[in-house]
Structure 1
Amino acid sequence: MGSTGVVRWKATSEVRSLVWDGYDLVDRVDGGRRWTSDGVEHAPGLVYSYPFDRAVVSPSGQYTVVYTERGTKALLLDGQRIVRELNRSFYHAEDFDYPVALGTLADGREVLVHCPEQYEVIEVEDVATGERLTRGERRPRDVFHSRLAVSPDGRRLLSAGWLWSPFGIARVYDLERALTEPAVLDGEGLPHLGSRVDAEVDAACWLDGDRLAVATGEEEVDEGDPATLGPRQLGVWSFSEQRWLYRQRVELPIGTLIGHGEVVIALCEYPRLIDVATGTVLAEWPEAEVSPRVGSYGVTHVPTSVAALHPDGSRLAIAQPDGIAIIALPSPASAPSPEETFTR
């Protein structure tokens, strides 16, 4: 295990969102404030009077949603142009993260996924036209959807939210089918995954179009089933194979996950790079402070870390109290086969 150097860029005020534009970094919440590749900050072109504090950006980079993580308000932007205001239900909005994602469907359309009227009802809209694509009869269940994420291939939708206990869960829905049968977004999601997790889900993220990384906490559901993902484990689920490819015990706190290929970045107190096949910490950076946040809910709000992985996986940008830390990521070693590492 090792670590590489951390480069620090200064910021004149708090950094509330980050997205890579080539090798520049942009804070969309702050109206497009930019740091060029030499680390020089350039003033924003727009200032919002409302206190938005987080942002998500579409795969193309054209659209952005700026929102309040524990509020009810958001804006959909096309570049810096305001397209329309967005809202979510006030019900427990102060207790869990705003459910919103931007993604690209398999047919190339960019979509907005959010819960505009009810906390338990996911809607999908065409970003360019505003057309709602999930019109039809709905049968919602009492699920607090959060941390929505469209899979890279546009076929599936992740919700890493919670049930009333509270108890963190991960559900994945057939996004293509939802466009003709929107009620599929109201059920248990795609089969097998939910029944193969016997612990509270702390975090989940896409590795690619087929594989989902899931990290669990200490709380267990049903004791002793060796086929499930148990407490304090990091697992990789394949939807094409309908099974866990890897399941590894992890003693360290996972926090928030960012996935890329064969590794995940765990953000809790400081960033760690983890091999998903073995659970090995490949590198860590204690000198780069991040939030101790775990899960998508909590009465006491600990804000989620602001971070951006470069699309090529070569570097990670993390907001710091006085600026931005840029971490050059090492290339992971070749991962072993699932059969070599399938352990409880």
Structure 2
Amino acid sequence: MGWSSMTVESIPVEAEPKALVWQGDELVSGCGRRWGRDGVERTVASAWSFPFDAGITSVSGPYSAVYQERGIEGVLLERERVVRELNRSDYQAENYDYPLALGALGDGREVVVHCPDEYNMLEIEDAASGERLTAGTREPRDVFHSRLSLSPDGRYLLAVGWFWHPFGVAMVYDTALALTDPATLDGEGLLPTEAVMNGEVTAGCWLDGDRLVLATGGEGRSGEEDSTLPARHLGVWSVSEGRWLHRNLIADAEPGVLLLPRGDHVISLLGHPRLLDTATGRLVAEWPEVGVPVKATCFGVTHIPSPVAALHPDGTRLAIAQAESIALITLP
């Protein structure tokens, strides 16, 4: 069926999509599948499947990737053409999600950000040629990078990961600086460690080129007696100001591993989608009838697949992949 004014609508699928992104009013999966306004699925002959169980698509260019979320192999695609194979270190790979981001830097160059050699060493590569843009002497910290995302202008890189306890952490890096001094990807970065050490970071996203949202899990408490983000809180950090703009207790649920930005709100996906106000942490809306995986962290011995969702650029529609359909939510 096509789109409608209903709050929640459903598009049948032959198999659960591994990735979703909006291109105009079409939904596109990273595996060569797409759905138009009529809701009809169209699949190219080269669509990828086994052994890949996850995918990502660049919102700025023609690149996508499919990979093993808890494995070491992946494939970079330019539309349906295979560009090259991707790999990561096999150290603890079965215990945390594959670190990978696609997008454009400030100069418009499409890049791949991943950890091809070591679990703790971030690299930025030219998507088209494979040229490593961060080659040099490196001494990375002992941290497992997992969920990576570039700011909308490509200036900053967010890395949500973990270190041994295990405990979830977040780091922010200047990509322009990293191209001239790759070793800056090995240090603390632009987000002070002490700012995120009280609560375990489980998810993050960019609201814009300066403001970053981080969410923490665990047992929550109220108050802002220091400069840290406590457990079970939603915080908005300004990179330019180097401080928290907002820190609020998430009253209704744990945040999960995936946040999608929508103006000054974020969509949290844990069990079902919720719309949260980043300035207050309050629940704006939720859709309990739309089920998504209950995945609290990007690491863990038990692998739970990550939610697959895409927000339309105009902020009006949210698409969520499910086993037999794509749920389409019309947002308030």
8 Å contact kept, 1:206–1:212 = yes
Could you tell me how far apart the structure 1 residues matched to 2:224 and 2:245 are?
19
Partner of 1:195: 194
TM-score between the two structures when normalised by the length of structure 2: 0.93
> What's the CA shift for 1:225?
4.4
1:7-33, Cα deviation, whole Å (9 max, x unpaired):
10001222222111211112223xx12
**Contact 2:20/2:57, CA 8 A, preserved across alignment:** no
Q: Which amino acid aligns with 1:159?
A: A
1:41 aligns to what? 41
Q: Is the 8 A contact 2:21 2:59 kept in 1?
A: no
Count of paired positions: 323
1:288–1:325: 8 Å Cα contact kept in structure 2? yes
Contact kept in structure 2, 1:33 and 1:45, CA below 8 Å: no
Match in the other structure for 2:260? 258
Cα shift at 1:56? 1.4
Shift of 1:191: 4.6
TM-fit CA distance, 1:321 = 2.0
Question: SS where residue 216 of structure 1 aligns?
Answer: strand
Q: Distance in 2 between matches of 1:265 and 1:73?
A: 29
Partner of 1:76: 76
CA distance in 2, matches of 1:44, 1:140: 41
Residue aligning to 2:313? 311
Map of 1:179 onto structure 2 = 179
3-state SS of 1:170 partner: strand
Matched, 1:26 2:25: no
Q: Distance in 1 between matches of 2:271 and 2:191?
A: 34
Gaps of 5+ in 1: 331-344
Q: CA RMSD in A?
A: 1.7
Q: Which amino acid aligns with 1:48?
A: W
**Paired residue for 2:293, among 291, 309, 332?**
291
The superposition leaves residues 104-140 of structure 1 with CA deviations (integer Å, 9 ceiling, x where unpaired) of 1111111110100111111111112211100111011
Say if 1:101 and 1:149, in contact at 8 Å, map to a contact too.
yes
Q: Deviations over 1:227-261 (max 9, x none)?
A: 32111110100111111111111131211211122
1:206 alignment partner in structure 2: 206
Q: TM-score, normalised by structure 1?
A: 0.90
Q: Secondary structure at the match of 2:147?
A: coil
Cα drift, residue 170 of structure 1: 0.5
CA contact (8 A) 2:110 2:127 kept: yes
Gaps of 5+ in 2: 1-5
Q: Following superposition of structure 1 onto structure 2, how do residues 88-103 of structure 1 map, counting pairs within 5 Å?
A: 88-103=88-103
Secondary structure of the residue aligned to 2:146 is coil
Report how far residue 53 of structure 1 moved.
1.5
Distance change >3 Å, CA 202–CA 314, structure 1 → 2: same
1:242 is matched with 242
Q: Is the 8 A contact 1:17 1:53 kept in 2?
A: no
Q: Which moved more, 1:112-121 or 1:194-203?
A: 194-203
CA distance in structure 1 between the partners assigned to 2:191 and 2:271 by the alignment:
34
State whether residues 218 and 254 of structure 2, in contact with CA within 8 Å, keep that contact through their aligned partners in structure 1: no
Report the equivalent of 2:130: 130
SS at 2:310 equivalent:
strand
Quote the offset at 1:40 in angstroms. 1.4
Q: How does 1:93-172 map to 2 (within 5 A)?
A: 93-172=93-172
In structure 1, how many angstroms separate the alpha carbons of the residues matched to 2:72 and 2:37? 35
- Please name the residue that 1:334 is paired with: none
SS of the equivalent of 2:131 reads coil
2-structure distance, mates of 1:191, 1:287:
37
Change (3 A) 1:226 1:87: same
Distance 1:183 1:162 in 2: 20
> How many angstroms apart in 2 are the aligned matches of 1:216 and 1:191?
15
2:284 and 2:49 map into 1 onto residues whose CA distance is: 42
2:57–2:64 Cα contact (<8 Å) kept = yes
Deviation of the 1:226 alpha carbon:
2.8
CA distance in 1, matches of 2:10, 2:219: 38
SS of the residue corresponding to residue 255 of structure 2 reads coil
User: 1:54-73 counterparts in 2 under 5 A?
Assistant: 54-73=54-73
Contact 1:57 1:102 survives alignment (8 Å) = yes
